[in-house]
Amino acid sequence: MKKKKLLFLLFNILFLALTNSIAQKPIEITSSEIYAKLQKLGNLGSVLYIAAHPDDENTSVISYFNNYKHFNTTYLSLTRGDGGQNLIGPEIRELLGIIRTQELLAARRIDGGNQVFSRANDFGYSKGPEETFRIWDKDSVLYDIVWAIRCLKPDIIINRFDHRTPGTTHGHHTGSAMLSFEAFDMAGNPDIFPGQLKYTEVWQPKRLFFNTSWWFYGSREKFEEANKDNLTSLDIGAYYPLLGQSNNEISAKSRSQHRCQGFGRLGSRGSEIEYFEFLKGEKPSGDQPFAGINTSWDRINGGSEIQAKIDRIIQSFNFEAPHKIIPDLMNLYQSIKMLDHNPYKEKKLGECKEIIQACTGLFLEAKTNNHKIVPGEEIMIDFELINRSNSNIDVHKIIILPVDKEIEWKEKLPFNRVLSKQISVTLPSNATYTNPYWLNQEGTLGLYSVQDKQLIGMPETPRYLSVQYELEIEGVKILIDRDVVFKSGEPDKGEVYKPLEVIPEYTIEMQNPILFFSEENRKTLNVKVNHHINNDNTDTLLLKLPDGFIAEPTYHLLSGENYQDLFSFEITAPEKEQKQEVLAEIHTKDGNIYSRTMHSISYDHIPEQTVLQPAATTLVRLQIKSTVDKIGYIQGAGDRIPEFLKEIGIQCDLLSLSDIPTTELNQYDAFIFGIRALNTLDGIDNAMPALLEYAKNGGNLILQYNTNRGVKTENFSPYPLTISRDRVTDENSPVKILDPDHQVLNTPNSINESDFKNWVQERGLYFPGTWSDKFDTVIAFKDPGEEYLPSGLLIAPYGKGNYVYTGISWFRELPAGVPGAFKLFVNILSLSTINN
Ligand SMILES: [Zn+2]
């Protein structure tokens, strides 16, 4: 029974992927869409597209294979894009990965593809596949790709990137193509990852391609001249009258879902050629990637009869009365069910069910009024069943899963009349939380930890509560599964569906993500407790403190009511400089421990997401000296440096460019531009002369990193300096002290090699490529196998003051509370204060 359920999960999520609307909202399917689904039902072709990140995929190609060729088309994104930037909100890292996962699902709902993942984590920029493989754990990612191939059984695999050009693009990109190249031969070999064969079969795809374009050749001219013997091509500019859209219009809408990456774009129409370079497998017998591959039902035993039935159904389809094909559809459903096991059976039965429901206007919904529920809680489920056709439909039974609550419900579903029922269910006390499954255990930098291997690949965690409807349609028994949903009518939005979440009884919100102990060794930590259920327990809130830290009081007692309340602890830090973590926990009388915080991620283009993470605050003990009182700061693209400077007692005035002419600049010990100021601030060219003058008169002007393209003024430095794309991505890279006597390494804080330990994500980016010898170089970083780069921090005395250009990633290190980075940054701010 247990195994059967796992198999069911595997087929339902990884194989059927999007057919049972994962966005919770029922899909409203028009007759045109039913017709397109029938065409797809008659096709057994399958494509797997492989790349590294959400947004790498070619949505035109995915839409074309799905909507024009009617192939089962899946995008395997090896990562969830945790390492990217977020242009629409504050979420970064894991939380950004959740947004980007949902953006991919939103894109697939538009272009009709399926979406799967591997466990690989997007750990940030990587210069080459060797580093990528080391950090990801190559074998684990190969395991996941082979698993995806065996489950999805593609005829052809298409790589987005070239596996032969390491070093020319992100290491994750080349890496994705290299792994796909290897996995292609492994998936069909039963000796490789034999454990997977308990749940699926080996599968040998026919062909592997690289989805190339002129861009990979350097220019259109070079591509024109290149030998194209190995290339096949497709004109993907099709127009779909059934959908009223061109392929590229659909593709642009799909791609525009990657909003947190700023990928919104215009649609286009008309003929457009995509190229596919043949890499291995059986060479195509014609000029198209699928040439010579049988994609009809004839390819399987007993399939010709099925194909004939589907063709007849398509011919007789009546757009005004789709239910008229129901008797034939039920017959087809039974015929497919009676086929021997084959790679397509489960998937096609699922498609059949979806078409049957659409043709009958069958609406089956189980909803609750609770958005978030707690293990042990009793909830009411409201059922609404309606048949909006003349087909004969009877309901026999409903089963609420996984609690196995069976309800006999023998009734006819008459034309257009709602049947309803209300049933209460008590969640088991061991119900699992609906948290993203890849975040439940701590993984490594490069790989999520997923204990239940059956979950690998799934885009999201299956919802906990679902309903199985046992129906009889035109005399044929059929089981239909649906998640229990939460929906509400909202005055400003109308009907809103949200995923039904199972959450812990208590969640804890730390009010301070980070606490700095700099001048004072005593700080207040505020902890908000949310109790999501009423009971008569008396529970205890306490802190798990690192050695040397003391809390006063040591605990708070909590009552068992449903409430939200704030509790404070006075934390005393030891003298020794360090960075630690404190965790909050609630211990209940019956021995449960709750220690999670709950985030909600809410945007219009994706379903609301609820995420549980450890309730933790970073404690940073700094022994830092500062001679700086006040600085001026102008934000560029946006960073959080000013709030962290305030934490160590430095007054930080936030200004805009328009303030410059009227501001007394001499009041500032230093003046800083935020990240990418030269790229983002219109009018910076007008402000620069006054700021350079300020530096010359004894001030200290500091520029942080800018990208080398799209700089809005060339006159940002008193001496020649050019920005390159040089970066040091290894946050643990060796450091060479070039000028140990330089003021910036000694005053007011003494800096040594230990201050470069425990940095995060990277050392820095877009370092200057050339610079005048007026600049001092004081430290150098290097990535593995590369030369030391000395230009991460360039300091030039200028008149009576200083000018500094620094590509070091201060915007990452300060918010992460890295003590050494704070000290060096304060020394940079202090450059002009020491001798004045
Ligand atoms: Zn990418």
**Six token digits for residue 237:** 């500019």
**Which 3 state secondary structure label does DSSP give 771?**
strand
**Interval between CA 178 and ligand 1 midpoint (Å):** 15
Q: Which value, to the nearest 10 degrees, does the dihedral of the CA atoms of residues 783, 785, 787, 789 take? A: -10
Across the beta sheet with 466-473, the strand order is: 405-412, 393-401, 466-473, 476-483
164 C-alpha to center of ligand 1: Å?
17
Gap from CA of 711 to ligand 1 centroid (Å): 24
In this structure, what are the phi and psi dihedrals at residue 402, rounded to the nearest 5 degrees?
-90, 15
Distance CA 347, CA 15 (A): 7
Instruction: Quote the pLDDT of residue 8.
Output: 42
Provide the residues around ligand 1 (an ion) whose CB is within 5 A. 53, 56
Q: 162 CA distance to ligand 1 centroid (A)?
A: 13
Distance 148 CA to ligand 1 centre (A): 20
Coil, helix or strand for 486? strand
- Six token digits for residue 753: 């090699």
- 8-state DSSP, 756: G
Residues 6+ apart with CB under 8 A from 673: 633, 634, 636, 702, 703, 704
- pLDDT for the residue numbered 122: 97
State in Å: Cα 480 to ligand 1 middle: 38
Element (H, E) at 278: strand 273-281
Q: How many Å lie between the centroid of ligand 1 and the Cα of residue 652?
A: 36
Distance, CA of 340 to CA of 75 (rounded, Å): 28
Q: What is the pLDDT of residue 831?
A: 96
Whether the CB-CB separation of 123 and 97 falls below 8 Å is answered with no
Handedness of CA 46, 51, 53, 58 (dihedral sign): negative
Distance, CA 56 to ligand 1 centroid (Å)?
5
Distance (angstroms) between ligand 1 centre and the Cα of 52 equals 6
Q: Which two tokens stand for residue 406?
A: 């069976």
DSSP 791-808: TTEEEEEETTEEEEEE-B
Euclidean distance between CA atoms 584 and 527, whole angstroms: 8
How far, in Å, is the centroid of ligand 1 from the Cα of 173? 6
Compute φ and ψ for 483, nearest 5 degrees.
-70, 150
Gap from CA of 54 to ligand 1 centroid (Å) = 7
Ligand 1 center to 159 CA (angstroms): 12
Give this prediction's pTM: 0.89
Q: Which residues pair with 721 in a beta bridge?
A: 771
List, as one string, the DSSP characters of 498-559.
E--EE--SEEEEES-SEEEESS-SEEEEEEEEEE-S-----EEEEEEPPTT-EEESSEEEE-
CA of 753 to the centre of ligand 1 (A): 34
Query: Distance, CA 102 to ligand 1 centroid (Å)?
Result: 16
What separation in Å is there between the alpha carbon of 21 and the centre of ligand 1? 27
Backbone angles phi, psi at 48, to 5 degrees: -120, 120
Q: How far is the CA of 175 from the centre of ligand 1 (A)?
A: 11
- The CA 705 to ligand 1 mean position distance, Å, reads 22
Tell me how far the alpha carbon of residue 59 lies from the centroid of ligand 1, in angstroms: 14
Ligand 1: distance of its center to the CA of 593 in Å? 40
Cα separation, 318 vs 32, whole angstroms: 10
CA 103–ligand 1 middle distance (angstroms): 14
Residue 452 CA to ligand 1 center (angstroms) comes to: 28
The pLDDT value given to residue 170: 94
**Does an H or E element contain 158, and which?**
strand 156-159
From ligand 1's centre to the CA of 802, what distance in Å?
39
What is the residue whose two structure tokens read 């074309």? 64
Largest CA distance in the chain: 94
Q: How far is the CA of 161 from the centre of ligand 1 (A)?
A: 10
- Listed residue (393, 448, 386) closest to 417, CA to CA: 386
Do the Cβ atoms of 301 and 341 come closer than 8 Å? Answer: no
Residues of the chain with pLDDT under 50: 1-13, 16-23
The DSSP code for 639 is: -
Query: Any idea how long the chain is?
Result: 836
- Ligand 1 centroid, distance to 79 Cα (angstroms): 9
pLDDT value, residue 24: 65
Q: How far is the CA of 142 from the centre of ligand 1 (A)?
A: 18
pLDDT at res. 87: 84
Q: How far is the CA of 51 from the centre of ligand 1 (A)?
A: 8
